[in-house]
A and B are shown apart, each in its own frame.
Chain A
């Protein structure tokens, strides 16, 4: 038995069970969270020795589908297990069935959570372009339904963009199959050439995935969808869903097609990322409500991820560490995963306690609910890239790569992005500490307040103990991570 298989089978089984069990299905999360974390730790222990992988059903590619886990996959699966598990426990507060019977939400939230979980794990494990498409579809449906818990109109808009992205991706995968007779990334890495069909296919795949990742200028669907969903749903969407499509982009360009991109494409993605950092931050500053602010912060933070493409390998000998930019990007994705989950959950608790949506309504909340406001502040430290935090380590790696390569514009954007993040995150925090009165609020149960705090501290821990994760994600990392895209 391999933990790699089980990490896909288990969430699917939990999804079916929670759908079948009705009222009691909600409490499955109490079992699911520790089980999934244990499985992910087991996988990490295996991968630490050597990357693992095999063909499903014993049918080797090109006929069958290969799944595998290197340091990158295993790290994302562990982070997902911890974050989704904690978010699931947090959701018991809102989506446990009421005493007088179940509701549509208390029944459907749980299968959707597990389906989303299964889909991201399937994406992290897959080495096959069509299998990735199927997992993306599962992810899209679960994510859109969860966004629909907040605002239907925003969810529909998200659905349209996500479906268009799926179609574009599928078109690219079909072209690649027609050109190379395989969908396996390992085989494609040996066969791919930079001819017209391949470049066109890669273009379709990339365009589809950046729409799903909400990269500027295709970000318009994200703030309303993430900003109006219930807190646990927002946390899942911002922490996990957009990371999964970025993960496929990383796999596609660095593992499957390292030789065909050329500097123009890498810089196009980098430029869009840089624009996202600035635009998302400025929009976040302009928001008057807390959750849209946090959602625009996601648009900005996702931008940094795309700086990996031009900066990977850009410094060569000058880089202080091997694979600096690539590792920085991955660490940034992981620490944003924890920090943003923490921030959305903390924001949800703060807004509920203050019975408001606006930043102005948060006045004095730091005295009434210190643990929650502290969790918000700790996650903000990581987003602002101040030490000690995973965000700091990630941006340090990205920044040193940019400076070593003489990419001044990217370096300037990163520094500006950090400052702008300080501006937009300072506003809600300043309000929470403002005034002299302590507002009277309904007290938050301690276990509930502990969850965002735990997630925020994990984002900090990624910075304090960064050597471990840094070494771990190198396990089985592609050569292109070190040498850059050609």
Chain B
């Protein structure tokens, strides 16, 4: 049964990928790409990689999808879209041959590998030292915490890059358009109904993340979705980009993480957690990170400031 499911899933993934690549309309391609992300999440699920599946669904399909559609909408509004984006057939043939060659070589290389489980046993044997039941969290916040620290700052760097594109004179303004919906419409009801549930789910995902699938990145995405939904429903406007509260939300996660790392560097070693307090410290970092990731993702979706702020 599972084999049948896997084969069907693989066929679906290939089919959807082909539709995303070969579709003539850009919007249709985007839609297929989002479906592709969800199917990939299913594939991770069937490989028992639940954390990866959550991240793929939330970020690969969810946030990326919103960003892509947002970009499409903005380009379409300016009539800046190429009506016939298909490249010359010679280019396409060469691109296809190149992909085929790389894909073939990759397949040969993977078949030639001895096959192994990587570091799975070492991780499981060592994660007890951090008092964590979830191997993924043990790797992300323990063994390779340095990578995660840098990753959380990469996200912030992306937001700074987006903000650097603010049109002249609008710094300190509000990102994104003002959304208005009918107060009794579907969107407004969703905007009221879902964010509280998202809030609880986000808090739970961090808490559960130490022993079960979950963690700061997944929780941050769920919280960001609640934020975006409230804005789309017109219930709450985005904050001004210079708002001190917003800055605090953006910085608290990376700043706390960095502080813990620096204190460690002063005493035992860079990013060495205080002995006996590994789990509470990791949880505190994860909660702060979830908040910062949520704020960063939501503002990435909103884009650079487009309207003057109210206070000015």
Contact = CB atoms under 8 A, between A and B. Distances in A.
Asked if chains A and B come from one complex, the reply is yes
A448 interface: no
Given A104-B163, A200-B105, A6 B265 contact: yes
Contacts of B110: 178, 197
A344 to B, nearest CB: 19
A137 B154 contact: yes
B60 to A, nearest CB: 14
A57 B264 contact: yes
A13 interface: yes
A103 interface: yes
Interface stretch (A15-23, A306-314, A398-406, A422-430): A15-23
Given A111-B160, A115-B157, A197-B110, A62 B258 contact: no
* Most B Cβ at <10 Å: residue of A13, A19, A62, A148: A19
A67 to B, nearest CB: 8
Nearest to B147: A134
Contact of A141 (B142, B149, B161, B165): B161
A177 B118 contact: yes
Interface in A40-67: 54-59, 62-65, 67
Contacts of A137: 154
A341 to B, nearest CB: 21
B151 interface: yes
B258 A57 contact: no
Contacts of A413: none
Contacts of B160: 19, 108, 111-112, 115, 145
Interface residues of B, number: 59
A59 B142 contact: yes
B172 interface: yes
A58 B272 CA distance: 6
A65 B272 CA distance: 12
Contacts of B96: none
A467 interface: no
B270 A134 contact: no
Nearest to A142: B157
A144 B154 contact: no
Interface in B206-259: 242, 247-248, 250-251, 254-255, 258
Contact of A115 (B118, B153, B251): B153
Interface string A131-165: 10011011001101100110010000000000000
A251 interface: no
Q: Which of B153, B168, B273 has the most CB of A within 10 A?
A: B153
Interface stretch (B7-15, B18-26, B65-73, B119-127): B119-127
B147 A65 contact: yes
Contact of B171 (A8, A67, A104, A111): A104
Given A57-B269, A101-B172, A141 B251 contact: no
B106 A58 contact: no
B119 A9 contact: no
Contact of A56 (B123, B145, B242, B247): B145
B261 interface: yes
A149 B160 CA distance: 12
Contacts of A104: 163-166, 168, 170-171, 304-305
Contacts of A201: 109
A371 interface: no
Nearest to B141: A57
A200 B106 contact: yes
Interface in B130-154: 142-147, 149-151, 153-154
A196 interface: yes
B108 interface: yes
Contact of A63 (B143, B146, B272): B143
Contacts of B143: 57, 59, 63-65
Interface in A166-216: 171, 175, 177-179, 181-182, 195-197, 200-201
Contacts of A472: none
A134 B160 CA distance: 17
Nearest to A118: B153
B75 to A, nearest CB: 13
19 contacts: A9-B261, A12-B153, A19-B251, A56-B145, A56-B146, A59-B143, A103-B171, A104-B170, A108-B161, A111-B157, A118-B153, A122-B150, A131-B144, A131-B147, A134-B154, A148-B164, A181-B118, A197-B112, A201-B109
Interface of B: 105-106, 108-110, 112-114, 116, 118-119, 122-123, 126, 142-147, 149-151, 153-154, 156-158, 160-161, 163-166, 168, 170-172, 242, 247-248, 250-251, 254-255, 258, 261-262, 264-266, 268-273, 304-305
Interface of A: 1-2, 5-6, 8-9, 12-13, 15-16, 19-20, 22, 54-59, 62-65, 67, 101-105, 107-109, 111-112, 115, 118, 122, 130-131, 134-135, 137-138, 141-142, 144-145, 148-149, 152, 171, 175, 177-179, 181-182, 195-197, 200-201
Given A54-B270, A111-B160, 8 more contacts: A56-B269, A57-B142, A57-B143, A134-B147, A134-B154, A142-B157, A149-B164, A178-B113
Closest 7 CB pairs of A and B: A145-B161, A104-B166, A5-B270, A108-B164, A197-B109, A57-B271, A104-B171
